Structure 1
């Protein structure tokens, strides 16, 4: 007879972990106890030595679906003579465990919901330890009901029995509820007046009538309408002020989604995962859905992930019995599910807030009386070949940790200005906040404060290191500087594009000098230049620039980012063909004399941005003169290129003095302008992607020869969201026998920047550097 204490850490609370320990201990014939505490899960086992020592492997093999075991540490403990195995109450202490992300409804709960006679038949808050809300309802750890927004709902005797039965899958499921004791739905008009009837059926009736319904979900509200009703979609766009940006849609299952999109096995596995992100999928030929993703090759589709979503499709399907329909039935119905907010503002999460802010947008409201503690927008994923790349990492993934291979100093990273997420570290874990968005107004900056504070409170983290972007005017930079001052923490500022390379280094746990391409819209360079197409060597104490794109003037400054026609005019001027500006862009103000603005360096600062280069080409090909949403011109260019097979124009670029010049390729397009048609525009667009990639790889090879660099090439920045460009870069590097890596755990763009900030600040501290610096062009 021996006794051992096992400390288990990871994602081990709120996922049915203790019942699994209970079951395995009973199967092994062991006595003892299991409990939650702030560090994770503690297990005391007594029994025969071979049975006790078999426990760790049995636990790893039989862990619950949502659990992640980071380590199991075994130590000796005195034999106390336990006569049974029990699950004991949670214990307090310093928080070392983590909270799981919200998880999509599991198959067992769907069976409960759609089996007539089951006490949870069509109940909108059905969940168990394998599914349901976690992060969005949790105030603090340990993850127990009083620490969640389910605290006001007292369980009825039947729910309490499930909750206390170790062999029930709802044992200690903190959001456990039923129609007798749990949250309830209600359906209201825009004046906040309740309407009698089944709230789900009333919602479907309104949607079928062409109305817009604000639906309260897990991490906020969605605005919902019939995606196949062009009038309803147009009305939603007009009311929300969303001109061009694609709208995400929800379909019943992958079989239904395949009616509209091409779905690979890898894409399907992500589409059906417990995270249930929006997946950007190639549209099938001849698909016409006006107003959904006009002009784009991809459509953003997600599957139901809450009971409310499933109930909506259940009603659309005619309320079939059993859960088989959730996988087997092919439904043509498609619902727009777009974030419920006015453009530029944070996601709405409260009932009163929704009625106040959305009454001019939504005709009706599907509400419930369970509070959302933390706003959390939908995640967005895209496939590059068979690998996923995050566009937005939020619901379903946040705040699950990115793991380092060693403990680092408690650090707060403030992130970027656009597509912001912040990060906090604890030991080997980096916790990124959910997607916050662009920090351009007081509502969003307040949401940023809330998210950062909640994460620090949840995990009891007091940062000793604070790191920000080097741009002094970002709200996130000012917030970080103030936090460092208040907490007497070490403060680092990291230049934007070095932090992008740092993201890939962090995912690889790489400390060695790393050569990488940082390709995006804009970021501040060390001399206050506007960077965006950089080849950098990043190391422990700083970075060097080994290459860049030929800078293009930005006529009028920031306005050029919203008017691709200005970038087109900039290119024409550099080609000494400014006389063609009026012909190419007749609506451009003062087009006949626009070249003088381009050559005025005070009014037209230069930028090496790849994003602005894409804008120029999109304008020259007649795809986009003005863009109301970021990267619209580039997305149209990519979608056009998707129709052709890309070819490299070896004479389309030049490399001089470490600068990659694509003007020769652009000159070809200008010369071919009079003969452009739909097919040739697609071919030019595709060829541009391939030629740009070839030029960037040649620039990289030049740096590799000069530095004798033999490591992986990091491919980072927001332009990596471009599937064609990323694939061309990967293939071109592979053809040169070079390894490449692009971020796959966080977005390659600004949404993942905080991870790179954390890693580079850590490397600088390891090297005992006071700052992370730029060491000049090479």
Structure 2
């Protein structure tokens, strides 16, 4: 309570402070320190006016950061003095909303002590919270027969539940979410309005009397009688495929131990061999599936609830067809009350994979899901809470005790990536063709979108365009600069070029990879950037993918690369790695290739493919590290033909014999740029195959040899430039065997090494790199 000698301050809190229980937290903090005033939301974040003695105000403002709620991310707190007004309480006031004159005003301005109207130019736009997994308190309620939310699939509070996937606008209030479709009952309204309740101002608050309703639908779309969770459980136990509507879209489920059901799911989904993720009921059950170190278990049980990729146990109770050819298994824990209820009922792991056909985006609109999944699912578990933004499950693994995000989506997006350099004008970066994400940026914040998938279908492109417009609305971004990849046939590039009234900036693919790593670390360069991936258009018109660059945020110089080789058949060589083996073996052996099983397996087409490579007919040159992995995988007999991007490389990594300490030698060919003689690695692998060497030892020697060659090339570049910092990026560095070998080698050479953690090293992180490169050039 204010009194004699009281001061009053106006406070603005920016960052991830909406949808995380921040206003109730501020109310409690004010009560604890005996200050009066008010708190509210606006499109820029949280506004506060507080009145009291100086020491109390100082403690109050310090607590805004030091004691913030677990889901909050406070980026900036600004304070200015104002005249005291003599209030006696502290309260939450109505949100300020945008007005037609470009300002944000609160209803009843006089009530707020004459608070001024803020110009849009004064403030950044508030961050929107990612969805959060069910908290322990809500889970206890859903399991308590005496609680009014017993077995209710949509229990949530200020500390958990849907956020990004239901938000339609900012500031974050119920009217700006899809929960606006449901009017709170009296009991929920009392919780919502009680400062002492953990549901105080929890926007998605609901209960069985007033919230979303769960239903089980047969394959014909008719409602099934009885408890929907029990019905779905019985379907799964009978070997059926069930479509389940989650937070960000539909999933397809079967029991993980049911081999025929897994095979049926693969056939219907047209997903021949890409591994499925498995949902375990709890951490103890997850430990029966995979080997979890402490870091992996922390990720698994955290509020984000991603899929965690970890070494599979030999006795894991799952069908072989769940993850064929993979050493690791993706596991996750339930992250909504619905998933918990189903896991409790089954008491067994179940596959939970994206509700789509291969190469399509995840289905999230009800009518569309029923249509698209009609030939896949035998039954549907649905509800009537609309999903505003689709969000697939995130995928992570652990590298050196730290999180390495491989797919950034539910639970992570759209949390901003803060950078130390301002974006002079709002930027839209359109990302890559595969594993697409896009990025909108303004101020010092880059908002990387959720994973959208490969832009190879009308459905995915439509989802991309709708998601871009949604992000621009949410974060108040009207792009003035649009960044895109140099490849003219990428649909993301075509989308960028169709934008009117903007400045277009093309960003080379591998420069964007390196810049993404720099942005994550707040490092402006220059550095030695190693960008290893599948393919990206180079400035010389060839397909790059094994690059060593000297780069900063503005520009780059190609100083070294893997030896180039033809890709016979172009895109066909990506789908059929044996073609890359043919091209490489012809390069290193010419007219006298060794008699190898890979050539025998494809003896009818082999001469034709070799002639294509030699003549250059439909055989673009590439320096791709990914295609080099493909070639060695085929030579070693691991994989000749793939059914998903990166399969051969992933299976080659899985075959590595950890006890093998040998390494294939690879020369460095002097010149500008320096060339790593990748053919030496292929030749050595072929010689080992001819000698009968085990594929696991070949895989290990190849990984170690490639890593050693990269380290030597970087050392040469470092000696010539004086640079001692290296940034590693590109999808090939999702391979932790290679990543560990390269990082360890560079550290022995006393280089500082930057690797990805929060942003995917693959194409899912490339939009961030495009955004910061565009901004750096815009600042010039």
Give the TM-score normalised by structure 1: 0.94
Query: Retained in 1: the 8 A contact 2:265–2:376?
Result: yes
Which residue of 2 is the match for residue 193 of structure 1? Answer: 222
For 2:141 and 2:56, the matched residues in 1 are separated by 36
Which of 228, 235, 246 pairs up with 2:257?
228
For 1:336 and 1:540, the matched residues in 2 are separated by 42
More deviation, 443-452/667-676: 667-676
Q: Deviations over 1:131-155 (max 9, x none)?
A: 0000000100011111111111111
More deviation, 510-519/229-238: 510-519
SS of the equivalent of 2:244 reads strand
Which residue of 1 is the match for residue 490 of structure 2? Answer: 474
More deviation, 92-101/196-205: 92-101
For 1:642 and 1:29, the matched residues in 2 are separated by 64
1:676 aligned to 2:676? no
Q: Deviations over 1:142-183 (max 9, x none)?
A: 111111111111111000000111121111111100001110
> CA RMSD of the aligned region, Å?
1.5
For 1:509 and 1:402, the matched residues in 2 are separated by 10
1:366–1:535: structure 2 CA closer, same or farther, 3 Å change rule?
A: same
Which residue of 2 is the match for residue 69 of structure 1? Answer: 74
Which of 398, 401, 420 pairs up with 1:386?
401
Q: How does 1:52-91 map to 2 (within 5 A)?
A: 52-91=57-96
Which of 21, 26, 44 pairs up with 2:31?
26
For 1:65 and 1:509, the matched residues in 2 are separated by 24
Query: Retained in 2: the 8 A contact 1:655–1:699?
Result: no
Superposed displacement of residue 11, structure 1:
1.2
Superposed displacement of residue 555, structure 1:
1.3
SS of the equivalent of 1:745 reads coil
Which of 117, 121, 130 pairs up with 2:159?
130
1:151 aligned to 2:180? yes
Which of 339, 342, 367 pairs up with 1:312?
342
Q: How does 1:320-335 map to 2 (within 5 A)?
A: 333-335=348-350
Superposed displacement of residue 26, structure 1:
1.0
Q: How does 1:88-107 map to 2 (within 5 A)?
A: 88-92=93-97, 93=104, 94=120, 96-107=125-136
For 1:459 and 1:671, the matched residues in 2 are separated by 57
Which of 673, 697, 705 pairs up with 1:691?
705
Which residue of 2 is the match for residue 322 of structure 1? Answer: none
Which of 432, 436, 449 pairs up with 1:416?
432
1:358 aligned to 2:373? yes
Which residue of 2 is the match for residue 575 of structure 1? Answer: 588
Query: Retained in 1: the 8 A contact 2:597–2:637?
Result: no
SS of the equivalent of 2:546 reads strand
Query: Retained in 2: the 8 A contact 1:35–1:88?
Result: yes
Q: Deviations over 1:37-59 (max 9, x none)?
A: 12211111111111111112222
For 1:293 and 1:574, the matched residues in 2 are separated by 35
Which residue of 2 is the match for residue 292 of structure 1? Answer: 322
Query: Retained in 1: the 8 A contact 2:515–2:553?
Result: no
Which of 202, 207, 213 pairs up with 1:173?
202
Which of 458, 463, 474 pairs up with 2:479?
463
Alignment size in residue pairs:
745
For 1:45 and 1:540, the matched residues in 2 are separated by 42
For 1:645 and 1:724, the matched residues in 2 are separated by 12
Which of 391, 394, 400 pairs up with 1:376?
391
Which residue of 2 is the match for residue 561 of structure 1? Answer: 574
SS of the equivalent of 1:410 reads strand
Which of 444, 453, 471 pairs up with 2:469?
453
Give the TM-score normalised by structure 2: 0.94
Which residue of 2 is the match for residue 328 of structure 1? Answer: none
Please list every run of 5 or more consecutive structure 1 residues that lacks an aligned counterpart in the other structure: 318-332, 769-778
Superposed displacement of residue 512, structure 1:
2.9
Query: Retained in 2: the 8 A contact 1:11–1:100?
Result: yes
Q: How does 1:488-637 map to 2 (within 5 A)?
A: 488-576=501-589, 579-580=593-594, 583-588=597-602, 589-592=604-607, 594-637=609-652
Superposed displacement of residue 717, structure 1:
0.4
For 2:14 and 2:666, the matched residues in 1 are separated by 55
Superposed displacement of residue 65, structure 1:
1.6
Q: Deviations over 1:116-140 (max 9, x none)?
A: 1100001001000100000000100
1:402 aligned to 2:417? yes
Query: Retained in 2: the 8 A contact 1:575–1:663?
Result: yes
Superposed displacement of residue 312, structure 1:
0.4
More deviation, 66-75/592-601: 592-601
Please list every run of 5 or more consecutive structure 2 residues that lacks an aligned counterpart in the other structure: 1-5, 98-103, 105-119
For 1:205 and 1:182, the matched residues in 2 are separated by 25
1:180–1:583: structure 2 CA closer, same or farther, 3 Å change rule?
A: closer
Which residue of 1 is the match for residue 739 of structure 2? Answer: 726
For 2:65 and 2:609, the matched residues in 1 are separated by 67
For 2:135 and 2:253, the matched residues in 1 are separated by 23
For 2:312 and 2:400, the matched residues in 1 are separated by 16
